[in-house]
Amino acid sequence: MRRPDDLPSADHEVAPFVRSLGLDGIIDVHVHSLPPPLQRAVWAYFDGLADPPWPITYRDDEATRLATLRDLGVVRHTALAYGHKPGVAAWCNEYTLGLADDHPQVIPSFTFYAEPDAPEYVEAAIARGGRVAKVHLQVGRFHATDPTLDDVWPQLAAARIPAVIHASGVYGVEGGHGYCGPDAIRALLERHPDVTVVVAHLGMPDAEGFLALAEDISSLYLDTTMALTDPAYILEYPTELLSRLAAIHERVLFGSDFPSIPHRYVAQVRGLAKLELADDGLRAVLHDNAARLLEQAR
């Protein structure tokens, strides 16, 4: 297994390290791309956080950000947006799916909100090539089992499209906790058992609850976004759970939250050392697990 000293310590070392594992690059399942007005609003929100502060490390225009990811050795990545209120999701989808049209590295990504026209614009997004969905329950303040989504989840299941779901109440967002938690995802999968769910941030701060859920439901995935960093910042995954997480590493996907992260990208690659995986395990988390999941989408 790789020791922390064997892992990269700066961004420019990430791509060579990934190649040393025998990979062409990283598949990052948790990259955000928002329409510019919404992106500016999100960054302004983060700028207002003070305890602790949340500096935006990669505050660049879209073209620069895409180039930065390529330089980091990221060969495929999502363009996640999220509908935070009614009437926004379809607009976001035009932007994110358009980005994928123009840039092959971008996995066609779309979002939806609990609103009456969600089935129609989700159908349109899938027809346009959408391959990953994004939902933020805390920001959106809706239940995953909201009846307006009863015709949405079956569409994702039929197309075998994974949904990256922010299902935990985290720092920086006021309220919305009642829509989150392992029980919210369990209820969704009891109602729609064929949906593929990727829980963002390893479910932090409810790491144990979501890990137990993943141990119980063999089709549930977790992404590492901001939960395994070296050094840790804001979110620190409990040390006592690391061996259990490593035991299901074939369902752990690499995610970063790029560009709106308060640290360098390399910190999240270094953080994988905490799982004490052999090279084949690192290849699985950084690339192969996501590649296998995305190949299922049709």
DSSP, residue by residue, 227-278: TS-SS-BSB---GGGHHHHHHTGGGEE----TTS-SS-THHHHHGGGGG---
Q: Which residue has the tokens 């060969």?
A: 75
Q: Which residue has the tokens 């910042």?
A: 233
Question: Residue 46 is inside which H or E element, if any?
Answer: helix 36-47
Q: Where are the domains of the chain?
A: 33-274
| pLDDT at residue 2, as a whole number | 75
Whole-model pTM above 0.95?
Answer: yes
| pLDDT at residue 261, as a whole number | 96
**Domain 33-274 coded CATH 3.20.20.140:** yes
| pLDDT at residue 156, as a whole number | 98
Please provide the DSSP assignment of 184-233 as one string.
HHHHHHHHSTT--EEEGGGGTTSHHHHHHHHHH-TT-EEE-TTTS-SS-B
| pLDDT at residue 169, as a whole number | 78
Q: Which residue has the tokens 């920001």?
A: 139
| pLDDT at residue 220, as a whole number | 98
| pLDDT at residue 172, as a whole number | 63
Each residue's pLDDT, cut to its tens digit, for the chain (298 residues) gives 777 778 999 999 999 999 999 999 999 999 999 999 999 999 999 999 988 899 999 999 999 999 999 999 999 999 999 888 999 999 999 999 999 999 999 999 999 999 999 999 999 999 999 999 999 999 999 999 999 999 999 999 999 999 999 999 776 666 667 899 999 999 999 999 999 999 999 999 999 999 999 999 998 999 999 999 999 888 789 999 999 999 999 999 999 999 999 999 999 999 999 999 999 999 999 999 999 999 987 6
Residue in 116, 114, 110, 106 with CA at minimum distance from that of residue 90: 110
